């Protein structure tokens, strides 16, 4: 009997689509409806290729052990470390991050989430400038000008346009797509750009210059150069004029803005442009980072509410300190300072630099990850947990910082505990060991 479970939240990307239908037969996921191709794949492949759990590296081989032994070993590694790093938190639930913060404080380590290599510049810029934000619901009901800058939702967040921003009919935008103008700023002719009313094909790494030129026009300065960022000055003026015809504008930006030259400074100047659009023209303008993992926004929010800082929090002296560049995961790994690491809900194997990875290969590494991933080859303790949003419940934050409760669809395989339980067990043992030492 195929059972259709409705209103399932997709735990893949920052859109957190909450209208999925998952078909389950005998505790097996056999199909989905409404979810995009990536979301479908997440559910479909959730039950295949799972890592064996738990395992410890002995004589260079990962050998299966009991859960107790693995917990003990993990706690021992963390207690003996001088500068442990707790990294990841983006593909797990907010509850687990909460325990993670407590664990970091108990071990006096560093906690950092995957934002450190994606949208941390956005957060830093918001700290410097403040930011006008909104929720996706507001975008759906109000936005008539949508700017996608340096992001390609058609590939990375496939349902973003149809579910939240462009196509749905909203209260003030009754005709859906026809009530809205879409502009895409991207050096490439992406699939998103193909759907846009205007594609501004800027030359690479010159976004900052273009945003600045918009600001100049708004501030009634002359654009004296003929082309800026590969775009003729007249076209820039016309674009600005076209933008000014609208009432409510949202800027969605992605890695194209945050991870190119200048990083947070690009967002910085974009926020400044938003302020000026609000101030001089009266278009209500907001902006929203296109968060990648389903709970990377939640990792920032949870770490922030627990420690006071959004990422890269260093507890080495007992109290939280924060300074990206000094306490962020990449920097401490790059300098070879970390002497033990716990990875959860992330895959640094594909996203970290070679130098950081080569250091990770030399230190004890605890890996909490449901599937066989690259990092297993250098991990020393491996837990394969139940997958949040598929095999256990949890809270995640959508890209507009709205918390959404993830649902349980199927029973987890034997011996697979939720992340929260694994971390709580490790925390319990760390506290015991610390208590003994004192």
Partner 1 sequence: MDNKLYNLVTKEEKCYGCGNCVVACPVNAYNDPAVAGGKGPEQLDKVIMCVENGVIKILNMGLCKGCGTCIEECPDGAIGLEVNYTT
Partner 2 sequence: MNEIVLKPKDHTRISLEAEVITPDSFAGKSLDEIENMMLYQGNRSVRLKERFDVSGSPCDTAADLRIIIDGDAPRTKRVGEKMSCGEIVVRGNIDMHVGAEMTGGKITVEGNADNFVGREMVGGLIHIKGNALDYVGGTARGKMEGMRGGEIIVDGDAGDHVGNFMYGGVIKIRGNVGQSAGQHMRGKGTIIIGGNSWSRVGCEAADGTILVKGKVHLSTASLGYGCIGQVVKDPELGGDVIEGEFYELRADMGYEPKCGIAKVYASVGLNEHILPGGRTSVPRKGDMPVNRDMLPYLKIYHEEMIVKGGKK
Q: Determine the interface stretch with partner 1 among 60-68, 166-174, 270-278, 350-358 (rule: CB under 8 A).
A: 166-174
Which of the choices partner 2, partner 1, ligand SF4, none does residue 308 contact, using the CB cut-off of 5 to 8 A by kind? none
- Count of alpha carbons within 13 Å of 26, Cβ hemisphere only? 0
Question: For the window 202-221, what string marks contact with ligand SF4 as x by the rule CB under 6 A?
Answer: --------------------
Contacts of 192 (CB under 8 A, 6+ apart): 148, 151, 152, 153, 154, 155, 161, 184, 186
Return the residue of 16, 65, 117, 273 that touches ligand SF4, per CB under 6 A.
Answer: 16
Which of the choices partner 2, ligand SF4, partner 1, none does residue 237 contact, using the CB cut-off of 5 to 8 A by kind? none
For strands 365-368 and 381-383, give the pairing: parallel
| Residue whose C-alpha is closest to residue 139's, from 173, 106, 109 | 173
Count H helices, E strands: the chain?
16, 21
Exposure string of 216-232, with b = 16+ CB inside 10 Å and e = fewer, is: bbbeeeebeeeebbebe
Which of the choices ligand SF4, partner 1, partner 2, none does residue 16 contact, using the CB cut-off of 5 to 8 A by kind? ligand SF4
**276 class by beta-carbon count within 10 Å (0-12 exposed, 13-18 middle, 19+ buried):** middle
| In the complex, minimum distance from the CB of residue 181 to partner 2, in angstroms, rounded to a whole number | 24
Return the residue of 26, 61, 226, 414 that touches partner 2, per CB under 8 A.
Answer: 226
Cis bond upstream, residue 118 (ω within 30) = no
| Contacts (CB under 8 A) with partner 1, residues 139-158 | 140, 154-155, 158
Question: For the window 392-431, what string marks contact with partner 2 as x by the rule CB under 8 A?
Answer: ----------------------------------------
Name which of 30 and 261 has its Cβ closer to partner 2.
Answer: 261
Return the residue of 184, 210, 250, 329 that touches partner 2, per CB under 8 A.
Answer: 210
Rounded-to-integer distance, Cα 136 and Cα 287, Å: 11
How many residues interact with partner 1 (rule CB under 8 A)? 35
Return the residue of 57, 157, 408, 416 that touches ligand SF4, per CB under 6 A.
Answer: 157
Is 221 a binding residue for partner 2 by CB under 8 A? The answer is yes
Written as six digits, the tokens of 5 are 């479970």
Helices 207-218/264-276 angle, 10° precision = 20
| In the complex, minimum distance from the CB of residue 160 to ligand SF4, in angstroms, rounded to a whole number | 6
| Contacts (CB under 8 A) with partner 2, residues 120-139 | 124, 127-128
| Contacts (CB under 8 A) with partner 2, residues 340-379 | 355, 358-359, 361-362, 378
Return the residue of 208, 407, 408, 416 that touches partner 2, per CB under 8 A.
Answer: 208
| Residue whose C-alpha is closest to residue 111's, from 292, 296, 299 | 299
Return the residue of 25, 28, 41, 49 that touches partner 1, per CB under 8 A.
Answer: 41
Which of the choices partner 2, partner 1, ligand SF4, none does residue 176 contact, using the CB cut-off of 5 to 8 A by kind? partner 1
Kindly report the backbone phi and psi dihedral angles of residue 434, in degrees, each rounded to the nearest multiple of 5, phi listed first.
-65, -40
The answer to whether 46 and 25 are in contact (CB under 8 A) is no
For strands 28-33 and 145-149, give the pairing: unpaired
Written as six digits, the tokens of 19 are 């209208």
Which of the choices partner 1, partner 2, ligand SF4, none does residue 260 contact, using the CB cut-off of 5 to 8 A by kind? none
For strands 110-113 and 313-314, give the pairing: antiparallel
Q: Determine the interface stretch with partner 1 among 15-23, 202-210, 240-248, 305-313 (rule: CB under 8 A).
A: 15-23
| Contacts (CB under 8 A) with partner 1, residues 190-209 | 191-192, 194-195
Instruction: Tell me how crowded residue 237 is: count the other CB atoms within 10 A of its CB.
Output: 14
Is 346 a binding residue for ligand SF4 by CB under 6 A? The answer is no
Mind spelling out the 3-state secondary structure of 292-330? CECCHHHHHHHHHHHHCCCCCEECCCCCCEECCCCCCHH
Is 317 a binding residue for partner 2 by CB under 8 A? The answer is yes
What is the contact surface with ligand SF4 in residues (CB under 6 A)?
10, 12-13, 15-17, 35-36, 38-39, 157-159
What is the contact surface with partner 1 in residues (CB under 8 A)?
19-21, 31-41, 44, 140, 154-155, 158-159, 161-164, 166-170, 176-177, 191-192, 194-195
């Amino acid at each position: 009997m195929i059972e259709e479970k409705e209103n399932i939240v997709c735990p893949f990307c920052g859109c957190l689509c909450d209208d999925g239908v998952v078909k389950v037969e005998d505790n097996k996921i056999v199909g989905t409806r409404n979810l995009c191709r990536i979301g479908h794949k997440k559910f479909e492949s959730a039950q295949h290729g799972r890592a064996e759990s738990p395992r410890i590296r002995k004589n260079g081989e990962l050998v299966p052990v009991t859960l107790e032994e693995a917990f003990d070993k993990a706690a021992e590694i963390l207690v003996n470390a001088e500068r442990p790093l707790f990294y990841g938190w983006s593909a797990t639930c907010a509850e687990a991050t909460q325990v993670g913060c407590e664990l970091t404080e108990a071990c006096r380590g560093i906690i950092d989430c995957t934002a450190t290599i994606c949208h941390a510049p956005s957060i830093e810029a918001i700290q410097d400038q403040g930011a006008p934000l909104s929720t996706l619901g507001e975008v759906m009901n109000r936005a008539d000008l949508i700017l996608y800058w340096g992001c390609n939702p058609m590939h990375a967040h496939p349902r973003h346009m149809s579910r939240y921003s462009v196509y749905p009919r909203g209260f003030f935008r009754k005709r859906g797509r026809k009530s809205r103008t879409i502009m895409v700023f991207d050096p490439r002719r992406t699939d998103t750009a193909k759907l846009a009313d205007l594609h501004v094909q800027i030359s690479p790494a010159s976004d900052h210059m273009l945003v600045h030129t918009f600001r100049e026009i708004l501030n009634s300065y002359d654009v004296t150069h003929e082309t800026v960022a590969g775009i003729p000055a007249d076209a820039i003026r016309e674009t600005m004029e076209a933008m000014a015809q609208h009432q409510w504008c949202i800027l969605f930006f992605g890695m194209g803005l945050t991870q190119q030259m200048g990083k947070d400074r690009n967002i910085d100047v974009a926020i400044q442009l938003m302020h000026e659009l609000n101030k001089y023209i009266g278009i209500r303008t907001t902006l929203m980072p296109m968060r990648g993992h389903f709970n990377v926004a939640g990792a920032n929010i949870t770490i922030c509410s627990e420690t006071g800082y959004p990422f890269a929090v260093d507890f080495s002296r007992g109290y939280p300190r924060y300074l990206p560049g000094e306490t962020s995961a990449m920097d401490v790994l790059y300098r070879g300072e970390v002497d033990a690491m716990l990875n959860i809900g992330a895959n640094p194997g594909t996203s970290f630099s070679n130098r950081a990875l080569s250091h990770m290969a030399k230190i004890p590494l605890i890996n909490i990850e449901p599937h066989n991933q690259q990092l297993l080859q250098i991990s020393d303790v491996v837990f394969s947990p139940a997958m949040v949003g598929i095999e256990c419940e949890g809270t995640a934050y959508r890209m507009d910082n709205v918390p959404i409760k993830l649902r349980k669809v199927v029973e987890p395989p034997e011996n697979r505990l939720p992340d929260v339980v694994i971390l709580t067990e490790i925390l319990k043992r760390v506290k015991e060991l610390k208590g003994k030492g004192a």
